[in-house]
Amino acid sequence: MHPEQLADLLIPSDPRLDPDGKRIAFVVTRLDLEQDKYLRRIWLWDGTGARPLTAGPGDTSPRWSPDGTRLAFLRKGGDDDAKPQLAILDMGGGEAEVITKFSLGVLEAEWSPDGAQIAVVAAEWTDDLAGLEPEERKRRARRITRFPYRFDNLGWVADRRTHIHLVDVGTGAARQLTDGDCDESGIAWHPAGTTLAFVSARQPRRGLEPGSQIWTISVDGGEATPRTNIGLWGNASFDPEGRLHATGIADEWGHPDVAPLHRIEDDGRLTALTAHLDRNLMPLAPTISPPSPQWLEDGRAIVTVEDSGTVRLMEMAADGATSEIIGGERAITGASPNADGSRVAFVATHPTNPGEIHLLVDGEEQQLTDLNARFVGEATLTQPERFVISHDGVEVEGWVYLPPGEEKVPLLLNIHGGPASAYGLWFFDEFQVYAGAGYGVVAINPRGSHGYGSDHVRAIIGTWHEEDSPDMVDLLAAADASAAQFPRLDTTRMGVMGGSYGGYATARLISRDHRFKSAIVERGLFSFTSFLGTSDIGPWFTRMYLADVDDPQQVWESGPLATADNISTPTLVLHSEGDFRTPIEQGEQLFARLLDNGVSTEMLRFPAPEGHEMSRGGSPRHRVERFEAILEWHGRHLG
């Protein structure tokens, strides 16, 4: 695969099976390098084939009406300043009608059970800015009173609020249901249509401390009621009997850990229904939509479970008992069942296919689309091979992507972000591009990664001030173990790279081991001392991972800048100027230190609004230019 082939990918997502189980609406995304934009359209599989249903260029979030006669979705126009609004398409024919005009757009939409209303989460300016002209709004100094005041991938957030509104489908009239100095997300309807559940952080120290709560509110209005204590909640849902559930971690300081599905009793007690799996229901990667759970009419649920480099689909009984229904060496990135579960529409991806729509009918699986047939036929794609490290009483899993041929190839160790993310058996353009350029790619899920249970993901907490923290031990072992199993990997030409936590770990690795001849640190965290006050998650993320944030020496020693004077490996620093997760001052500090020490180094800065997600969701041209810079740097130093 070559960098410019990003434009050949057609990525399906968010499959939604209609109430009759006969049609599937889904989103298809592709990159347009000429326009430097993402083009998103809703497609329809109608029982005989799949075709584009909407024109785009920014159509997402398809939602069937309860009777299946209409499809609601979010439409964003082609202008750079356009905001997504709620649109409704009559499936009997005609054009989609946009029925909302929220100043900062609609973020979520869900039909009421009777089909008369749609609950939306919409963003609007705060009262002091709402009536201003755009230029005056930009000119004004920002008065900051809360944290975070900016958030990665969202931009400045202190000047806006996201609240729930009820939109009348017939008239388009919107009635605001929630208000206040807070934000809501993750809306879910009670099956009787009387109540909405949602996620919101309303505690006094929100932002400075982590967490949110599950709330409910009557559709007639009034005050919202908290239904849980503060935790790390992803989304709420109601089962067919109207019992409230939530996916997440019940302890607001509990990250990193597996996130099970909880039943919320009327008295607030929580029952962790999937705790026995010791697996995560909210993967950081890949993105899952629709999220778990998807309820069936008899009280069972369909859930996606992250497990050992895969994402599989399981059926959960009302008591939490689970059984696998869709597995394999792949990832299920979204699933939508009909009422009785006899049909399940889903997206599946594996290392050599970016994703296709499938349908499970009475246990038999059918592939319905072949969106990426041309790309797969033209690109030379690599199937990874698994290896395992057994040491320290644990097993650590990894994969090697080898390009075609028999000759020796440079070893390129890749380190994922998170750190509680994971690599796995889904299509990842980065690995295919690097293998396509002639590198032997080594990917590993060291301790600290999701997919292997609570002990594995929490093993690194409080250890980063130690030279031999568990993740460092695992990462160094990966180079040796992979080379021993795959002799084509040339250990005299080894490179290492990673983004976010991967950038952090790369910097730590090259300060203690000088075998690597080339390194790339991307959007890394290099100094907890400054990260604490500049990152959108700094105040609380640091407390989750470090042993003692009140010890300034330990805080300093936990960051790679503390040992950066030991680095001699040629190092490229990649960062984006709009990164609010690991602000660019992090990369600037490391670059200045390396330059001052005479290390061969360069810094490549991508202009704002590019942020922390640039490698995955940045401008198409920047993504291609990033790949070209990475290949040039490693080519310069590894040959």
| Catalytic positions, written as ranges | 500, 612
Exposure letters 33-57 (e unless 16+ CB within 10 A, then b): eeeebbbbbbbbbeeeebeebbebb
Q: How many CA atoms lie within 13 A of 521 on its CB side?
A: 33
Q: Give the whole-angstrom CA distance, residue 588 versus residue 583.
A: 9
CA distances from 294 to 261, 328, 363, 442 (A): 12, 20, 17, 35
**Among the listed residues 326, 334, 301, 306, the one whose alpha carbon sits nearest the alpha carbon of residue 316:** 301
**Structure-block tokens of residue 284:** 């950081």
Q: Is omega for the bond preceding 570 within 30 degrees of 0, making it cis? A: no
In the three-class reduction of DSSP (H, G, I as helix; E, B as strand; rest coil), residue 102 is classed as coil
β strands within 516-631, DSSP E: 518-522, 571-576, 601-606
Q: List all residues 6 or more positions away from 596 whose beta carbon is below 8 Å from its beta carbon.
A: none
Distance CA 503, CA 554 (A): 20
Q: How far is Cα 107 from Cα 186, in angstroms, rounded to an integer?
A: 10
Give residue 61's identity as a one-letter amino acid code: S
Task: Classify residue 493 by its DSSP letter.
Answer: E
Q: In what order do the strands lie in the sheet with 601-606?
A: 385-391, 394-401, 440-444, 409-415, 489-499, 518-522, 571-576, 601-606
Residue 573 amino acid letter: V
Q: What is the DSSP-derived secondary structure letter of residue 293? A: P
Question: In 551-594, which ranges are E strands?
Answer: 571-576
Q: 485 exposed, middle or buried (CB, 10 Å; 0-12, 13-18, 19+)?
A: middle
Structure tokens at 420: 């509680």
Token duo for residue 303: 């859930």
Q: How far is 278 from 273, CA to CA, in rounded Å?
A: 11
CA atoms of 587 and 572, how far apart (whole Å):
10
